[in-house]
């Protein structure tokens, strides 16, 4: 590959890729409760056409949320698959990896027969979504990239930072750099790390087979953008100065330039403009051309219909599972234990909308949100669940709903969020220190922010025992988290009584249900009532006679 002999040109595509990736990564890093970054971090996810369309079809997501995708499709019709070459964070990652991984001398075998596969995958995903099953978490490129960067890379960076801090802390103490001494970034932990990392590692490893293997042959978003942008207005044009040197064909990452370098497969061209930079005679330009290029079929109709049928069949077979509502006795999602984040819409829409991006997991300040794994069915593998023993759900925090791109978790104002009951705490009396072992402990009462636990002196008991008032309990899990019984807590939160509203006010629904979820701090908490005095014949709680 020779350097260009023409005057230096700007490399807009590469700059844009770098800036775009920087923005994507930076927004992800900055999305920390309670301060949101100026641009919503889920902006890139809102541009992912497969993620958004699947959420719309399978999860009844609002029409209006499709705005960014609609805009993208219109721009793609004019500019071609510029998203893939200029904006997509997974594409930028692939390009960077291809530099290292790509085989010298080009692909060993021709994978061209695989070109239609991405359309087939798109058809499977679309058909399955139409019948209620969202496969977006597996194949939507921005979701896959976000999961990798937010759950794997970010966690590794934090772990590294924590290690460095612990090494330099003694030095900082001597130098009195208090900022460093007390810095505690925290190291988040997320389940299924191999799934989040493995998907991207495999995609990048496929670069060994051919550059941009994923984008060429597998990416359903690329397929959709290819359909929209197969006849772009602004496109590659080759002037008569072309000398048939073959450089552009070799350099094109998506092999969009055929035998004849003057012809371009616009459905595959990602407008990276490498051909423009490398052309020794400056014969290649990207310009608007009102004359429509010829139609080229991308995949056989038969193949696509067969794939669609397969996608539909997948959805129908999955619907046989007794956990879906509509079955006579639906199994509770995840058996007894699957607690969804506050503001999560009802389960079947929740699973339809969740694209497994992992942004809510990342932003959660207590690290309680974890991938559900198989607990909610395989399609909810990366959907969020609350694990109280890892962390409580802070009552004043509403971060997860703020960043969810599809509204699987509704964004709730702080006052609403405190009324979004996610479950109820139950004392396991056979394990509780007070009930079973006559030990005075009252940590659960101490930490409960809703004052839902009262201590009672019961007959035949030396110490006061905790009792949960389920109408005051929001399931936040502070008790479950702080209970000193090891290893498993003696007070556990289960999703009993959780409120899951598709729309409407949580506060109103909770009050209608007779709940009294008054957070003990903040402008909405009622003034503390004067407590009942201890009976005269007994000393007050904790005192000896």
State the Cα–Cα distance between residues 465 and 431, nearest whole angstrom. Answer: 12
Interacting residue with other proteins among 38, 290, 326, 545 (CB under 8 A): 545
Interface with other proteins, residue 531, by CB under 8 A: yes
Length of the chain, please?
545
Least distance from other proteins to the Cβ atom of residue 446, Å: 5
Stretch 339-358 residues interacting with other proteins (CB under 8 A): none
Q: Residue 116: which residues within 8 A CB-CB, separation 6 or more? A: 298, 299, 300, 303, 304
Stretch 148-177 residues interacting with other proteins (CB under 8 A): 162, 165-166, 169, 176
Interacting residue with other proteins among 60, 96, 306, 396 (CB under 8 A): 396
State the Cα–Cα distance between residues 415 and 396, nearest whole angstrom. Answer: 8
Interacting residue with other proteins among 442, 498, 501, 510 (CB under 8 A): 442
Interacting residue with other proteins among 30, 74, 488, 534 (CB under 8 A): 534
Interface with other proteins, residue 129, by CB under 8 A: no
What secondary structure letter does DSSP report for 444? H
What secondary structure letter does DSSP report for 286? E
State the Cα–Cα distance between residues 408 and 332, nearest whole angstrom. Answer: 18
Interface with other proteins, residue 63, by CB under 8 A: no
Alpha helices in 438-544 (DSSP H): 443-447, 478-482, 506-512
Residue 260 or 446: the one with the smaller Cβ distance to other proteins is 446
First to last CA, the chain: 92
Interface with other proteins, residue 486, by CB under 8 A: yes
Stretch 443-462 residues interacting with other proteins (CB under 8 A): 443, 445-449, 451, 455
State the Cα–Cα distance between residues 89 and 293, nearest whole angstrom. Answer: 29
Residue 182 or 194: the one with the smaller Cβ distance to other proteins is 182
Least distance from other proteins to the Cβ atom of residue 544, Å: 5
CA 433 to chain centre: 39
3-class DSSP state of 458:
coil
Residue 271 or 476: the one with the smaller Cβ distance to other proteins is 476
Interface with other proteins, residue 186, by CB under 8 A: yes
Residue 5 or 530: the one with the smaller Cβ distance to other proteins is 530
3-class DSSP state of 373:
helix
Q: Contact region for other proteins (CB under 8 A) — 148-156, 216-224, 307-315, 534-542?
A: 534-542
State the Cα–Cα distance between residues 203 and 213, nearest whole angstrom. Answer: 8
Residue 347 or 394: the one with the smaller Cβ distance to other proteins is 394
Please compute, for residue 77, the number of CA atoms within 13 A of its CA located in the half-sphere on the CB side. Answer: 6
Interface with other proteins, residue 438, by CB under 8 A: no
Least distance from other proteins to the Cβ atom of residue 534, Å: 5
Listing DSSP states for 291-341 in one string gives SPPPP---S-HHHHHHHHHHHHHHHHHHTTSTTSBTBSSPPPTTTTT-PPP
Residue 11 or 518: the one with the smaller Cβ distance to other proteins is 518
Interacting residue with other proteins among 52, 478, 492, 517 (CB under 8 A): 478
Residue 204 or 433: the one with the smaller Cβ distance to other proteins is 433
Q: Contact region for other proteins (CB under 8 A) — 248-256, 309-317, 478-486, 502-510?
A: 478-486
b (16+ CB within 10 A) / e for 303-340? ebeebbeebbebbeebeeeebbeeeeeeeebbeebbbb
Interface with other proteins, residue 184, by CB under 8 A: yes
How far from 73 is each of 50, 185, 227, 388, 479, CA to CA, in Å? 12, 40, 10, 42, 49
Write the burial class of residue 100 (CB in 10 Å: 0-12 exposed, 13-18 middle, 19+ buried). exposed
Number of residues that bind other proteins (CB under 8 A): 50
Q: Do the Cβ atoms of 331 and 375 come closer than 8 Å?
A: no
Interface with other proteins, residue 375, by CB under 8 A: no
Least distance from other proteins to the Cβ atom of residue 473, Å: 15
Q: Contact region for other proteins (CB under 8 A) — 99-107, 127-135, 237-245, 535-543?
A: 535-543
Residue 404 or 483: the one with the smaller Cβ distance to other proteins is 483
> What is the contact surface with other proteins in residues (CB under 8 A)?
162, 165-166, 169, 176, 178-179, 182, 184, 186, 365-366, 394, 396, 433, 439-443, 445-449, 451, 455, 463-464, 478, 482-486, 520-521, 528-531, 533-534, 539-545
């Amino acid at each position: 590959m020779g350097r260009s002999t023409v005057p230096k040109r700007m490399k807009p595509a590469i700059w844009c890729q770098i800036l775009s990736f920087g923005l994507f990564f930076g927004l992800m890093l900055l999305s920390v409760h309670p301060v949101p970054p100026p641009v919503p971090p889920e902006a890139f996810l809102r541009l992912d056409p497969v993620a958004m369309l699947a959420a719309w079809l399978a999860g009844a997501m609002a029409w209006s949320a499709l705005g960014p995708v609609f805009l993208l499709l219109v721009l793609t019709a004019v500019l071609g698959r510029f998203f893939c070459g200029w904006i997509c964070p997974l594409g930028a990652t692939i390009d960077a990896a291809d530099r290292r991984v790509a085989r010298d001398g080009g692909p060993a075998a021709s994978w061209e027969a695989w070109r239609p596969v991405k359309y087939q995958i798109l058809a499977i995903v679309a058909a399955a979504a139409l019948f209620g099953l969202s496969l977006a978490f597996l194949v939507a490129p921005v979701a896959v990239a976000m999961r990798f960067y937010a759950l794997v890379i970010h966690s590794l960076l934090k772990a590294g930072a924590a290690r460095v801090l612990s090494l330099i802390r003694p030095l900082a103490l001597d130098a009195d750099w208090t900022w460093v001494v007390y810095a505690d970034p925290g190291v988040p932990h997320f389940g299924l790390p191999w799934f989040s990392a493995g998907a991207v590692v495999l995609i990048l490893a496929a670069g060994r087979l051919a550059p941009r293997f994923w984008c060429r042959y597998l990416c359903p978003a690329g397929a959709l953008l290819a359909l929209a942008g197969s006849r772009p207005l602004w496109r590659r044009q080759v002037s008569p100065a072309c000398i048939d040197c073959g450089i552009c064909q070799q350099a094109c990452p998506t092999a969009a330039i055929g035998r004849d370098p003057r012809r371009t497969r616009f459905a595959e061209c990602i407008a990276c403009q490498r051909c423009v930079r490398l052309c020794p005679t400056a014969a290649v330009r990207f310009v608007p051309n009102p004359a429509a290029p010829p139609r080229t079929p991308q995949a056989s109709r038969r193949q696509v219909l067969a794939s669609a049928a397969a996608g539909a069949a997948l959805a129908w077979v999955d619907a046989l599972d007794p956990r879906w509502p509509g079955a006579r006795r639906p199994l509770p999602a995840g058996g007894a234990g699957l607690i969804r984040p506050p503001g999560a819409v009802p389960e079947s829409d929740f699973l339809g909308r969740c694209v497994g991006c992992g942004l809510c997991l990342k932003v959660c300040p207590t690290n309680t949100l974890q991938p559900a794994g198989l607990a909610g069915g395989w399609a909810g593998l990366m959907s969020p669940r609350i694990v109280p023993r890892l962390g409580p759900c802070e009552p004043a925090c509403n971060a997860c709903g703020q960043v969810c791109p599809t509204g699987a978790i509704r964004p709730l104002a702080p006052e609403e969020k405190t009324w979004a009951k996610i479950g109820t705490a139950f004392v396991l009396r056979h394990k509780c220190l007070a009930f079973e072992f006559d030990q005075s402990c009252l940590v659960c009462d101490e930490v409960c922010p809703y004052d839902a636990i009262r201590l009672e002196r019961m007959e035949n008991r030396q110490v006061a025992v905790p009792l949960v008032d389920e109408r005051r309990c929001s399931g936040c899990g502070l008790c479950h988290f702080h209970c000193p019984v090891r290893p498993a807590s003696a007070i556990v939160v289960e999703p009993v009584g959780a409120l899951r509203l598709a729309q409407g006010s949580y506060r109103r629904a909770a009050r209608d249900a007779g709940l009294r979820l008054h957070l003990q701090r903040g402008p909405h908490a009622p003034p503390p009532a004067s407590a009942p005095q201890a009976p005269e014949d007994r000393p007050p709680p904790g005192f000896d006679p």
